[in-house]
Chains A and B, each alone.
Chain A
Amino acid sequence: MVVFSVYVVNKAGGLVYQYDNYSPRNDVEKTFSYPLDLVLKVHDERVVVSFGQRDGIKVGYAVLSINGFDVNGRYMADNRDVLEYLNTSFNYPLAIRFGRPRLTSNEKLMLASMFHSLFAIGSQLSPEPGSSGIEVLETDTFKLHCFQTLTGIKFIVLADPRQAGIDSLLRKIYEIYSDFALKNPFYSLEMPIRCDLFEQNLKVALEIAEKAGTFGAGS
Protein backbone atom coordinates (compact mmCIF):
# COMPACT_ATOMS: atom_id res chain seq x y z
CA MET A 1 0.00 0.00 0.00
CA VAL A 2 1.49 3.29 -0.95
CA VAL A 3 0.85 6.96 -1.27
CA PHE A 4 2.34 8.18 -4.53
CA SER A 5 2.33 11.93 -4.15
CA VAL A 6 0.88 14.95 -2.42
CA TYR A 7 -0.15 18.28 -3.95
CA VAL A 8 -1.24 21.48 -2.23
CA VAL A 9 -3.10 23.96 -4.42
CA ASN A 10 -3.89 27.50 -3.27
CA LYS A 11 -7.14 29.41 -3.74
CA ALA A 12 -6.15 30.74 -7.11
CA GLY A 13 -5.30 27.30 -8.45
CA GLY A 14 -1.55 27.68 -8.14
CA LEU A 15 0.52 24.74 -6.97
CA VAL A 16 2.23 25.73 -3.71
CA TYR A 17 3.64 22.35 -2.74
CA GLN A 18 4.34 19.02 -4.35
CA TYR A 19 5.97 15.92 -2.98
CA ASP A 20 6.60 12.62 -4.71
CA ASN A 21 6.58 9.97 -2.03
CA TYR A 22 6.94 6.91 -4.18
CA SER A 23 7.16 6.57 -7.90
CA PRO A 24 7.30 3.09 -9.34
CA ARG A 25 10.41 2.73 -11.46
CA ASN A 26 9.57 0.69 -14.48
CA ASP A 27 12.42 1.53 -16.76
CA VAL A 28 13.35 -1.14 -19.27
CA GLU A 29 16.75 -1.40 -20.89
CA LYS A 30 17.19 -3.55 -23.95
CA THR A 31 19.77 -4.08 -26.65
CA PHE A 32 18.47 -3.62 -30.18
CA SER A 33 19.88 -4.42 -33.58
CA TYR A 34 19.04 -2.66 -36.81
CA PRO A 35 16.27 -2.09 -37.85
CA LEU A 36 14.47 -0.98 -34.73
CA ASP A 37 11.14 -2.80 -34.49
CA LEU A 38 9.41 -0.03 -32.48
CA VAL A 39 7.58 2.92 -33.96
CA LEU A 40 8.91 6.09 -32.37
CA LYS A 41 7.67 9.62 -32.72
CA VAL A 42 8.49 12.99 -31.29
CA HIS A 43 5.87 14.23 -28.87
CA ASP A 44 6.24 17.23 -26.57
CA GLU A 45 9.98 17.43 -27.25
CA ARG A 46 10.43 13.80 -26.28
CA VAL A 47 10.97 10.66 -28.30
CA VAL A 48 8.18 8.29 -27.30
CA VAL A 49 6.98 4.85 -28.37
CA SER A 50 3.81 5.26 -30.41
CA PHE A 51 3.31 1.64 -31.54
CA GLY A 52 4.84 -1.78 -31.21
CA GLN A 53 4.60 -2.50 -27.50
CA ARG A 54 6.92 -5.39 -26.49
CA ASP A 55 9.02 -6.77 -23.63
CA GLY A 56 7.58 -4.36 -21.11
CA ILE A 57 8.24 -1.36 -23.34
CA LYS A 58 4.85 0.26 -23.47
CA VAL A 59 3.28 2.85 -25.71
CA GLY A 60 3.97 6.25 -24.18
CA TYR A 61 7.39 5.33 -22.82
CA ALA A 62 10.13 7.76 -23.74
CA VAL A 63 13.73 7.11 -24.71
CA LEU A 64 15.65 7.93 -21.54
CA SER A 65 19.18 6.95 -22.51
CA ILE A 66 21.14 5.33 -25.29
CA ASN A 67 24.19 3.18 -24.48
CA GLY A 68 24.09 4.56 -20.96
CA PHE A 69 24.17 8.20 -22.03
CA ASP A 70 21.15 10.23 -21.00
CA VAL A 71 19.01 11.69 -23.71
CA ASN A 72 18.06 15.31 -23.37
CA GLY A 73 14.54 15.58 -24.78
CA ARG A 74 14.80 14.73 -28.46
CA TYR A 75 18.54 15.33 -28.63
CA MET A 76 21.55 13.32 -27.57
CA ALA A 77 24.12 14.75 -25.20
CA ASP A 78 26.21 15.86 -28.21
CA ASN A 79 23.19 17.56 -29.84
CA ARG A 80 22.53 14.93 -32.46
CA ASP A 81 18.87 14.21 -33.14
CA VAL A 82 17.78 10.98 -31.45
CA LEU A 83 15.54 9.80 -34.28
CA GLU A 84 18.25 10.35 -36.88
CA TYR A 85 20.76 8.51 -34.74
CA LEU A 86 18.41 5.56 -34.31
CA ASN A 87 17.78 5.41 -38.05
CA THR A 88 21.44 5.04 -38.85
CA SER A 89 22.32 1.35 -39.25
CA PHE A 90 26.03 1.51 -38.43
CA ASN A 91 25.31 2.77 -34.87
CA TYR A 92 23.85 -0.62 -33.93
CA PRO A 93 23.71 -2.68 -31.76
CA LEU A 94 22.37 -0.19 -29.24
CA ALA A 95 21.27 -0.45 -25.64
CA ILE A 96 18.23 1.79 -25.22
CA ARG A 97 16.54 2.49 -21.94
CA PHE A 98 12.81 3.25 -22.04
CA GLY A 99 10.61 4.50 -19.25
CA ARG A 100 7.72 6.71 -18.42
CA PRO A 101 9.04 10.25 -18.42
CA ARG A 102 8.97 12.10 -15.09
CA LEU A 103 6.73 15.12 -14.88
CA THR A 104 8.68 18.33 -14.92
CA SER A 105 7.86 20.90 -12.25
CA ASN A 106 6.26 23.02 -14.95
CA GLU A 107 3.98 20.17 -15.96
CA LYS A 108 3.02 19.65 -12.33
CA LEU A 109 2.02 23.30 -12.09
CA MET A 110 -0.10 22.93 -15.20
CA LEU A 111 -1.75 19.76 -13.95
CA ALA A 112 -2.58 21.40 -10.62
CA SER A 113 -4.26 24.40 -12.16
CA MET A 114 -6.05 22.16 -14.63
CA PHE A 115 -7.41 20.09 -11.78
CA HIS A 116 -8.47 23.29 -10.05
CA SER A 117 -10.57 24.20 -13.09
CA LEU A 118 -11.97 20.69 -13.50
CA PHE A 119 -12.97 20.76 -9.85
CA ALA A 120 -14.88 24.00 -10.40
CA ILE A 121 -16.50 22.72 -13.60
CA GLY A 122 -17.37 19.45 -11.91
CA SER A 123 -19.24 21.17 -9.11
CA GLN A 124 -21.11 23.32 -11.66
CA LEU A 125 -22.07 20.38 -13.85
CA SER A 126 -23.34 18.28 -11.00
CA PRO A 127 -27.04 17.37 -11.28
CA GLU A 128 -27.16 17.46 -7.50
CA PRO A 129 -27.27 21.00 -6.11
CA GLY A 130 -24.60 21.95 -3.62
CA SER A 131 -22.05 19.52 -4.99
CA SER A 132 -18.74 19.56 -3.20
CA GLY A 133 -16.66 19.17 -6.34
CA ILE A 134 -14.33 16.28 -7.10
CA GLU A 135 -13.50 14.35 -3.96
CA VAL A 136 -12.22 11.11 -5.43
CA LEU A 137 -11.07 10.21 -8.89
CA GLU A 138 -10.43 6.54 -9.41
CA THR A 139 -8.40 4.81 -12.08
CA ASP A 140 -6.96 1.32 -12.52
CA THR A 141 -3.62 2.21 -11.03
CA PHE A 142 -4.23 5.03 -8.57
CA LYS A 143 -6.89 6.94 -6.74
CA LEU A 144 -6.84 10.73 -6.43
CA HIS A 145 -8.30 12.10 -3.21
CA CYS A 146 -9.02 15.80 -2.94
CA PHE A 147 -9.97 17.73 0.17
CA GLN A 148 -10.93 21.39 -0.14
CA THR A 149 -10.93 23.47 3.03
CA LEU A 150 -13.52 26.13 3.83
CA THR A 151 -10.96 28.74 2.90
CA GLY A 152 -10.46 27.22 -0.54
CA ILE A 153 -7.13 25.41 -0.27
CA LYS A 154 -7.00 21.99 -1.88
CA PHE A 155 -5.00 19.08 -0.55
CA ILE A 156 -4.62 16.32 -3.11
CA VAL A 157 -3.22 12.86 -2.45
CA LEU A 158 -2.52 10.28 -5.13
CA ALA A 159 -2.49 6.80 -3.66
CA ASP A 160 -2.83 3.15 -4.44
CA PRO A 161 -6.53 2.34 -4.99
CA ARG A 162 -6.42 -0.14 -2.09
CA GLN A 163 -4.85 2.32 0.35
CA ALA A 164 -7.30 3.06 3.15
CA GLY A 165 -7.48 5.94 5.59
CA ILE A 166 -6.76 8.71 3.11
CA ASP A 167 -9.50 10.94 4.55
CA SER A 168 -7.78 11.15 7.89
CA LEU A 169 -4.44 11.59 6.14
CA LEU A 170 -5.85 14.63 4.32
CA ARG A 171 -7.05 16.13 7.60
CA LYS A 172 -3.65 15.44 9.07
CA ILE A 173 -1.93 17.21 6.19
CA TYR A 174 -4.23 20.20 6.77
CA GLU A 175 -3.06 20.29 10.38
CA ILE A 176 0.57 20.02 9.36
CA TYR A 177 0.03 22.85 6.87
CA SER A 178 -1.56 25.06 9.50
CA ASP A 179 1.23 24.26 11.95
CA PHE A 180 4.39 24.33 9.92
CA ALA A 181 3.58 26.61 7.02
CA LEU A 182 1.16 29.14 8.48
CA LYS A 183 2.71 29.39 11.91
CA ASN A 184 6.10 29.97 10.36
CA PRO A 185 6.15 33.77 10.31
CA PHE A 186 8.52 33.80 7.35
CA TYR A 187 6.14 31.89 5.13
CA SER A 188 4.07 34.24 2.99
CA LEU A 189 0.53 33.17 2.29
CA GLU A 190 -0.35 31.74 -1.12
CA MET A 191 3.33 31.30 -1.98
CA PRO A 192 5.20 28.03 -2.60
CA ILE A 193 5.93 26.22 0.66
CA ARG A 194 9.63 25.79 1.24
CA CYS A 195 9.65 24.77 4.88
CA ASP A 196 11.79 21.84 6.01
CA LEU A 197 9.67 21.20 9.09
CA PHE A 198 6.57 20.95 6.93
CA GLU A 199 8.22 18.39 4.71
CA GLN A 200 9.60 16.34 7.60
CA ASN A 201 6.24 16.13 9.32
CA LEU A 202 4.48 15.35 6.08
CA LYS A 203 6.83 12.42 5.48
CA VAL A 204 6.14 11.08 8.96
CA ALA A 205 2.39 11.37 8.39
CA LEU A 206 2.67 9.53 5.07
CA GLU A 207 4.66 6.72 6.67
CA ILE A 208 2.10 6.32 9.42
CA ALA A 209 -0.76 6.35 6.92
CA GLU A 210 0.92 3.74 4.75
CA LYS A 211 1.52 1.43 7.67
CA ALA A 212 -1.93 1.84 9.14
CA GLY A 213 -3.71 1.89 5.79
CA THR A 214 -3.35 -1.82 5.07
CA PHE A 215 -5.82 -2.79 7.75
CA GLY A 216 -7.49 0.58 8.25
CA ALA A 217 -11.22 0.90 8.51
CA GLY A 218 -11.43 2.12 4.94
CA SER A 219 -11.65 5.64 3.65
Chain B
Amino acid sequence: MSRQANRGTESKKMYWYLPFISPSASLHLMNSELFTLTYGALVTQLCKDYENDEDVNKQLDKMGYNIGVRLIEDFLARSNVGRCHDFRETADVIAKVAFKMYLGITPSVTNWSPAGDEFSLILENNPLVDFVELPDNHSGLIYSNLLCGVLRGALEMVQMAIDVKFIQDILKGDNVTEIRLKFIKRIEENLPAGEE
Protein backbone atom coordinates (compact mmCIF):
# COMPACT_ATOMS: atom_id res chain seq x y z
CA MET B 1 0.00 0.00 0.00
CA SER B 2 1.74 3.10 1.17
CA ARG B 3 4.93 1.13 1.12
CA GLN B 4 5.62 1.73 -2.48
CA ALA B 5 4.78 5.36 -2.11
CA ASN B 6 7.37 6.16 0.47
CA ARG B 7 10.13 4.11 -1.04
CA GLY B 8 13.01 6.15 -2.30
CA THR B 9 11.51 9.51 -1.43
CA GLU B 10 13.79 11.98 0.18
CA SER B 11 11.53 12.64 3.16
CA LYS B 12 13.03 9.66 4.88
CA LYS B 13 13.69 11.52 8.05
CA MET B 14 11.53 10.93 11.03
CA TYR B 15 11.31 12.88 14.21
CA TRP B 16 12.90 10.85 16.90
CA TYR B 17 11.73 11.82 20.26
CA LEU B 18 14.63 13.12 22.22
CA PRO B 19 14.57 14.78 25.61
CA PHE B 20 15.21 18.47 25.97
CA ILE B 21 18.47 17.97 27.76
CA SER B 22 19.95 14.89 26.24
CA PRO B 23 23.52 13.91 25.58
CA SER B 24 22.52 13.39 21.98
CA ALA B 25 20.22 16.38 21.70
CA SER B 26 22.06 17.51 18.61
CA LEU B 27 20.72 14.47 16.80
CA HIS B 28 17.15 15.66 16.86
CA LEU B 29 16.58 14.50 13.38
CA MET B 30 18.02 11.13 12.74
CA ASN B 31 17.90 9.44 9.43
CA SER B 32 15.61 6.48 9.84
CA GLU B 33 17.44 4.61 7.13
CA LEU B 34 20.37 4.02 9.44
CA PHE B 35 17.98 2.34 11.82
CA THR B 36 16.15 0.21 9.24
CA LEU B 37 19.40 -0.83 7.59
CA THR B 38 20.94 -1.78 10.93
CA TYR B 39 17.88 -3.85 11.71
CA GLY B 40 18.10 -5.46 8.30
CA ALA B 41 21.73 -6.38 8.87
CA LEU B 42 20.77 -7.92 12.21
CA VAL B 43 18.01 -10.03 10.70
CA THR B 44 20.13 -11.27 7.80
CA GLN B 45 22.94 -12.18 10.16
CA LEU B 46 20.50 -14.14 12.31
CA CYS B 47 19.23 -15.91 9.19
CA LYS B 48 22.81 -16.96 8.47
CA ASP B 49 23.42 -18.07 12.05
CA TYR B 50 20.30 -20.16 12.49
CA GLU B 51 19.04 -23.02 10.40
CA ASN B 52 15.36 -22.28 10.45
CA ASP B 53 13.14 -19.22 10.57
CA GLU B 54 11.53 -20.36 13.79
CA ASP B 55 14.82 -19.89 15.66
CA VAL B 56 15.37 -16.49 14.09
CA ASN B 57 11.91 -15.41 15.20
CA LYS B 58 12.68 -16.61 18.69
CA GLN B 59 15.99 -14.72 18.82
CA LEU B 60 14.37 -11.52 17.57
CA ASP B 61 11.68 -11.82 20.20
CA LYS B 62 14.27 -12.41 22.91
CA MET B 63 16.31 -9.39 21.84
CA GLY B 64 13.17 -7.30 21.72
CA TYR B 65 12.27 -8.42 25.22
CA ASN B 66 15.66 -7.32 26.53
CA ILE B 67 15.22 -3.96 24.85
CA GLY B 68 11.68 -3.59 26.16
CA VAL B 69 12.53 -4.11 29.82
CA ARG B 70 14.97 -1.20 29.59
CA LEU B 71 13.03 0.97 27.20
CA ILE B 72 10.02 1.13 29.51
CA GLU B 73 11.98 3.14 32.08
CA ASP B 74 13.06 5.59 29.42
CA PHE B 75 9.48 5.87 28.28
CA LEU B 76 8.09 6.45 31.76
CA ALA B 77 10.82 8.89 32.70
CA ARG B 78 10.11 11.09 29.71
CA SER B 79 6.46 10.74 28.89
CA ASN B 80 4.92 11.38 32.29
CA VAL B 81 2.09 8.89 31.73
CA GLY B 82 0.59 7.39 34.85
CA ARG B 83 -0.50 3.86 35.54
CA CYS B 84 -3.09 2.43 33.13
CA HIS B 85 -6.14 1.03 34.83
CA ASP B 86 -7.55 -0.84 31.89
CA PHE B 87 -6.32 -2.40 28.69
CA ARG B 88 -7.95 0.27 26.55
CA GLU B 89 -5.88 2.94 28.22
CA THR B 90 -2.79 0.79 27.67
CA ALA B 91 -3.64 0.42 23.98
CA ASP B 92 -3.96 4.19 23.61
CA VAL B 93 -0.66 4.90 25.31
CA ILE B 94 1.15 2.30 23.20
CA ALA B 95 -0.25 3.52 19.91
CA LYS B 96 -0.40 7.27 20.43
CA VAL B 97 2.55 7.93 22.70
CA ALA B 98 5.04 5.08 22.59
CA PHE B 99 5.00 4.24 18.87
CA LYS B 100 5.06 7.94 18.08
CA MET B 101 7.98 8.51 20.37
CA TYR B 102 10.20 5.67 19.22
CA LEU B 103 9.20 4.94 15.64
CA GLY B 104 7.53 8.15 14.56
CA ILE B 105 4.30 6.39 13.56
CA THR B 106 0.85 6.17 15.10
CA PRO B 107 -0.76 2.77 14.53
CA SER B 108 -4.52 2.53 14.78
CA VAL B 109 -6.15 0.46 17.50
CA THR B 110 -8.95 -1.85 16.29
CA ASN B 111 -10.56 -5.27 16.49
CA TRP B 112 -11.32 -5.23 20.19
CA SER B 113 -12.44 -8.55 21.55
CA PRO B 114 -15.81 -8.39 23.31
CA ALA B 115 -14.12 -8.95 26.67
CA GLY B 116 -11.79 -6.05 26.01
CA ASP B 117 -8.71 -8.15 26.62
CA GLU B 118 -7.47 -8.29 23.04
CA PHE B 119 -6.83 -5.68 20.39
CA SER B 120 -4.89 -5.13 17.19
CA LEU B 121 -2.41 -2.48 16.22
CA ILE B 122 -2.63 -1.72 12.52
CA LEU B 123 0.62 -0.37 11.12
CA GLU B 124 0.11 1.33 7.80
CA ASN B 125 3.80 1.77 7.33
CA ASN B 126 6.30 -0.09 9.39
CA PRO B 127 9.64 1.73 9.28
CA LEU B 128 11.47 -1.56 9.78
CA VAL B 129 10.41 -2.99 6.43
CA ASP B 130 10.96 -0.02 4.14
CA PHE B 131 13.32 -1.83 1.78
CA VAL B 132 12.50 -5.45 2.44
CA GLU B 133 11.37 -8.13 0.04
CA LEU B 134 11.07 -11.46 1.75
CA PRO B 135 12.79 -14.23 -0.23
CA ASP B 136 10.82 -17.40 -0.87
CA ASN B 137 13.00 -19.57 1.31
CA HIS B 138 12.15 -17.46 4.37
CA SER B 139 8.41 -17.80 4.33
CA GLY B 140 8.36 -18.58 8.04
CA LEU B 141 10.32 -15.50 9.02
CA ILE B 142 8.45 -12.87 11.02
CA TYR B 143 10.69 -10.03 9.97
CA SER B 144 9.65 -7.43 12.58
CA ASN B 145 9.28 -9.89 15.43
CA LEU B 146 11.57 -7.70 17.55
CA LEU B 147 8.60 -5.38 18.10
CA CYS B 148 6.63 -8.20 19.76
CA GLY B 149 9.43 -8.77 22.21
CA VAL B 150 9.73 -5.06 22.98
CA LEU B 151 6.01 -4.78 23.74
CA ARG B 152 6.01 -7.91 25.88
CA GLY B 153 9.11 -6.89 27.84
CA ALA B 154 7.97 -3.33 28.44
CA LEU B 155 4.49 -4.30 29.62
CA GLU B 156 5.88 -7.01 31.86
CA MET B 157 7.81 -4.34 33.76
CA VAL B 158 4.55 -2.53 34.51
CA GLN B 159 3.12 -5.81 35.78
CA MET B 160 1.11 -6.86 32.74
CA ALA B 161 1.63 -10.25 31.16
CA ILE B 162 0.60 -10.12 27.53
CA ASP B 163 0.86 -12.23 24.42
CA VAL B 164 1.96 -10.43 21.25
CA LYS B 165 2.09 -11.73 17.71
CA PHE B 166 1.91 -10.64 14.10
CA ILE B 167 -1.26 -11.88 12.41
CA GLN B 168 -0.90 -9.89 9.20
CA ASP B 169 2.26 -8.70 7.55
CA ILE B 170 2.72 -6.50 4.51
CA LEU B 171 5.83 -8.52 3.72
CA LYS B 172 3.68 -11.61 3.30
CA GLY B 173 1.27 -9.97 0.91
CA ASP B 174 -1.28 -8.68 3.39
CA ASN B 175 -2.62 -5.19 2.98
CA VAL B 176 -1.57 -3.99 6.35
CA THR B 177 0.65 -5.10 9.19
CA GLU B 178 -1.37 -6.18 12.19
CA ILE B 179 0.02 -6.90 15.64
CA ARG B 180 -2.35 -8.68 18.01
CA LEU B 181 -2.01 -8.05 21.74
CA LYS B 182 -3.74 -10.29 24.24
CA PHE B 183 -3.88 -9.53 27.94
CA ILE B 184 -3.07 -12.59 30.03
CA LYS B 185 -2.90 -11.36 33.62
CA ARG B 186 -1.71 -8.79 36.07
CA ILE B 187 1.56 -9.89 37.62
CA GLU B 188 0.44 -9.27 41.18
CA GLU B 189 3.58 -10.55 42.87
CA ASN B 190 5.69 -7.83 41.22
CA LEU B 191 3.28 -5.04 42.02
CA PRO B 192 5.18 -2.29 43.85
CA ALA B 193 4.06 -1.41 47.35
CA GLY B 194 1.35 1.19 47.48
CA GLU B 195 -0.47 -0.03 44.36
CA GLU B 196 -3.78 -1.72 44.85
Contact = CB atoms under 8 A, between A and B. Distances in A.
Interface of A: 11, 116, 119-120, 122-124, 129-133, 148-153, 171, 174-175, 177-179, 182-183, 189
Contact of A148 (B72, B74, B194): B194
Contacts of B193: 116, 119-120, 123-124, 133, 148
Interface in B166-196: 190-194, 196
Contact of A183 (B74, B192, B196): B74
A133 B70 contact: no
Nearest to A187: B70
Interface in B51-88: 69-70, 72-74, 76-78, 82-83
B66 to A, nearest CB: 9
Given A148-B194, A150-B76, A179 B158 contact: no
Interface of B: 19, 22-23, 69-70, 72-74, 76-78, 82-83, 157-158, 190-194, 196
Contacts of B74: 178-179, 182-183
B196 A129 contact: yes
Contact of B73 (A119, A132, A133, A149): A149
Contacts of B69: 189
B78 A130 contact: no
Contacts of A119: 193-194
Contacts of B22: 179
Contacts, number: 64
Contact of B77 (A131, A152, A175): A175
Nearest to B83: A150
Contacts of B190: 11, 152
A62 B193 CA distance: 36
Contacts of A132: 194
Contacts of A120: 193-194
Contacts of B73: 149, 151, 153, 174, 177-178, 182
A182 B194 CA distance: 24
Contact of B192 (A11, A171, A179): A11
A150 B158 contact: yes
A130 B196 contact: yes
Contacts of B76: 149-151, 174, 178
Nearest to A204: B21
17 contacts: A11-B192, A119-B194, A120-B194, A123-B193, A130-B196, A131-B194, A148-B194, A149-B73, A149-B77, A150-B83, A150-B192, A151-B192, A152-B192, A178-B74, A178-B76, A182-B73, A189-B70
A11 B187 CA distance: 14
A151 to B, nearest CB: 5
Closest 8 CB pairs of A and B: A133-B194, A152-B192, A120-B193, A123-B194, A182-B70, A178-B73, A178-B74, A174-B77
Contact of A177 (B77, B82, B158, B191): B77
